[in-house]
Amino acid sequence: MGGWKGRDVLSIADFSRKDIDLVLKTAKKMVPIARGERTSRPLEGRILATLFYEPSTRTRLSFESAMKRLGGDVVGFTSAEGTSVQKGETLADTIRMVESYSDAIVLRHPQEGAARLAADFTERPVVNAGDGAGQHPTQTLLDLYTMWDERGGIDGAKIALVGDLKYGRTVHSLTYALSNFPVDLTFVAPSNLQMPKEVVEHARAQGVPLAMTEDLTHVVPDLDVLYVTRIQKERFPDPQEYAKVAGTYRVDAALLRDAKKGLIVMHPLPRVDEVAPDVDPTPHARYFEQAFNGVPVRMALLSLILEGGG
Amino acid sequence: MRDLKVTPIKNGTVIDHIPTGMALKVLRVLGIAGDVASTVSVLMHVPSKHRGWKDIVKVEDRELNPRELNKIALIAPDATINIIRNYNVAEKHTVTLPERAVGILKCGNPNCITNGREPVESVFLVRSKEPLRLRCQYCDRELEDVATAIL
């Protein structure tokens, strides 16, 4: 992919290994600014529109914080209620209108394909902040950043993804992205929630060694990264069956007793029961850092698409 | 069954070797409705030497553009196109699948943005020709049943 200035961020599949590396390195430089330890205002005078057709507090706040840390400003809405959308305006029209009020557009929408459609109707760069069950590329990039930063690189890592791998878009995008790296993947899930065939096929086609199992306990001692996702109750017709499965995939301090010293536990948050609070004080817990990393990673993307780079 | 029940046409286009039952969909894909200026003959369930049965469509006094005709490769991959001039086959083409199918298929994902009121045409990218696999450019979902997805 060519230059960064004006580029849309729609799907992680549009990112090459080189693109990902640049985002990670740029994000690293943003950390002191994201923490408020240093100020920098390269995006002063620029306006980011954040159009959230459904609420997503963490994603929205981290985009807004990212823009403001770089000296820019933000306009937008936090739900479709009370906007022209409720009056029946098409997304295409909303985008054409917002284009004239902003320099870049962040879109969260309940329907798949919304971000790509938005990008068709504006010259401004569009960043997909989640479209239905579709893509959420900035989440994937912050996940990659967390692994890269915590381990000093992603290459060679033994990574397990655990939980609802069938319906979880986070783990699908992450698998696509990790297929760009020489890593070792293990998918840990009950058989009815295992990774979809097309995602597995893609990873295999990229030459990624991968294993699939239902047994979490046995894989833990080998791992460098344990990425946990929530198993949703509504996927199980029988509540008892849910309780049994949820219990099996619960990560707690006892499970991590035989883990490598350097193992990191990640979770896109919010968590319910799948990572026990007794993991929080262990040296393995990284999910709060992961949540913070959303800011420098989004700063890196905003700076790249508004100012160029690479 | 050598002689067909419909006589040869003098000028126009004959689309042969359409899978049986697909002739009307072929017309739909080509946008040929009741408003054409010439005769359109549709032959359904005609004996075929190679595959048992087939459909045939004949459009008189009109030479259909081969690029347009490639769209029907989505539902009739083995179709042949004969351009007829003065009762003779002047040109013969086989259809080839386009890289993209624009505005002729409806995405099977009910939550896809193209299934709402947005002013866009659906766009499908051909991922593989054999077997035929198409992916919605907007929601990335693969189309499961091409024949029923035709608009």
- Helix axes of A169-178 and A137-151: crossing angle, nearest 10 degrees: 60
Distance CA(A40)–CA(A68), nearest Å, equals 10
Residues with Cβ < 8 Å from B117, sequence gap 6 or more?
A88, A90
Give A211-240 pLDDT, tens digit per residue.
999 999 999 999 999 999 998 887 788 888
Q: Please give the residue that has the higher pLDDT: either A240 or B51.
A: A240
Nearest CA in chain B to A119: B138
Mean pLDDT, all residues of chain A: 94
Residue A278: band (very low, low, confident or very high) from pLDDT cuts 50, 70, 90: very high
Distance CA(A263)–CA(A208), nearest Å, equals 20
Phi and psi, residue A83, nearest 5°: -105, 175
A12-135+293-307 to CATH, choices 3.40.50.970, 3.40.50.170, 3.40.50.1370, 3.40.449.10:
3.40.50.1370
Q: Which chain B positions have a beta carbon within 8 Å of A92's beta carbon? A: 118-120
Domains of chain B: 12-94 (3.30.70.140), 100-149 (2.30.30.20)
Residues 56-85 of B with CB under 8 A from A: none
Percent of chain A past pLDDT 70, that is, above it, reads 99
Region of A88 on the Ramachandran plot (φ > 0 left; ψ -120 to 50 alpha; else beta): left
Residue B104: band (very low, low, confident or very high) from pLDDT cuts 50, 70, 90: confident
Q: What angle is formed at CA B25 by the lines to CA B21 and CA B30, rounded to 5 degrees?
A: 140
Nearest CA in chain A to B119: A92
Has residue B4 got a pLDDT over 80? no
The label of the residue with tokens 């010439």 reads B38
Distance CA(A150)–CA(A153), nearest Å, equals 8
Distance CA(B44)–CA(B22), nearest Å, equals 8
Indicate yes or no: CB of A113 within 8 angstroms of CB of B119: no
Q: What is the CATH number of domain A138-290?
A: 3.40.50.1370
Predicted complex ipTM: 0.88
Nearest CA in chain A to B111: A111
Contact A265, A287 (CB under 8 A): yes
Give A111-161 pLDDT, tens digit per residue.
999 999 999 999 999 999 999 988 999 999 999 999 999 999 999 999 999
AA letter at A228? V
Q: Where are the domains of chain A?
A: 12-135+293-307, 138-290
Distance CA(A178)–CA(A258), nearest Å, equals 25
Q: Please give the residue that has the higher pLDDT: either A30 or B102.
A: A30
Instruction: Out of A88, A112, A198, name the one closest to residue B113 (CB).
Output: A112
Has residue A11 got a pLDDT over 60? yes
Indicate yes or no: CB of B116 within 8 angstroms of CB of A92: no
AA letter at B111? N
Has residue A194 got a pLDDT over 60? yes
Mean pLDDT, all residues of chain B: 89
Distance CA(A270)–CA(A113), nearest Å, equals 24
Q: Which of A261, A263, A229 is nearest to A140 (CA)?
A: A229
Residues with Cβ < 8 Å from A224, sequence gap 6 or more?
A151, A157, A158, A159, A260, A262, A263, A264
AA letter at A109? H
DSSP readout, chain B? --S-SSPPPSSEEEEEEEPTT-HHHHHHHHT--TT-SS-EEEEEEEEETTTEEEEEEEEET----HHHHGGGGGT-TT-EEEEEETTEEEEEEE----SEEESSB--S-TTBGGGTT-S---EEEEEETTTTEEEETTT-PBPS-TGGGB-
Has residue A84 got a pLDDT over 90? no
Q: Which residues of A are catalytic?
A: 58-59, 87, 108, 136
pTM, entire model:
0.88
